[in-house]
Amino acid sequence: MDELEYLDTSEFEPDMFNWQRMPADQALTHVALWHERESLGGGPIDVLLTFQKRWNLSSLFDGMLRELSHKDLRYVVEHYDGSQQLEQLIDQAQQSLPLRGRAEGCMPDANGVVTMSRFHRLELIDPVADAAVPSE
């Protein structure tokens, strides 16, 4: 529905004399470009940027959250619901105990953004393989 409202308010008109692209293709491209403008940006997106976008947090919190350890950042991301102050939640995170016996609790003192990003990354290459190129 948002896309239709956008097309209605943007005063978009397809080029009826464009012999390479049908009007539906032009409308699709127009909406896709709008989605890209409304998203997080054209660069690399990390766990922290998606968290800030989800909760509409100010960029003032960016530096504070980037300095957190893996344990503290994971605590903040899992427990923040928008109702409490972020500073208080960070204090609670620093007093919390690291997770034991779970993969999410590994490396509690490592850099939070790097560790969480690495943890959620999809591995396409077998980590125990000898080479990425198969031998003949």
The 3-class secondary structure across the chain, one letter per residue, is CHHHHHHHHCCCCCCCCCCCCCHHHHHHHHHHHHHHHHCCCCCCCCHHHHHHHHHCCCHHHHHHHHCCEHHHHHHHHHHCCCCCCHHHHHHHHHHCCCCCCCHHHCCCCCEHHHHHHHHCCCCCCCCCCCCCCCCC
C-alpha neighbours within 13 Å on the C-beta side of residue 108: 14
Q: What is the mean pLDDT of residues 33-37?
A: 84
The pLDDT assigned to 81 comes to 93
pTM, full prediction: 0.64
pLDDT tens string 85-95:
999 999 999 99
pLDDT tens string 73-82:
999 999 999 8
Amino acid at 122: L
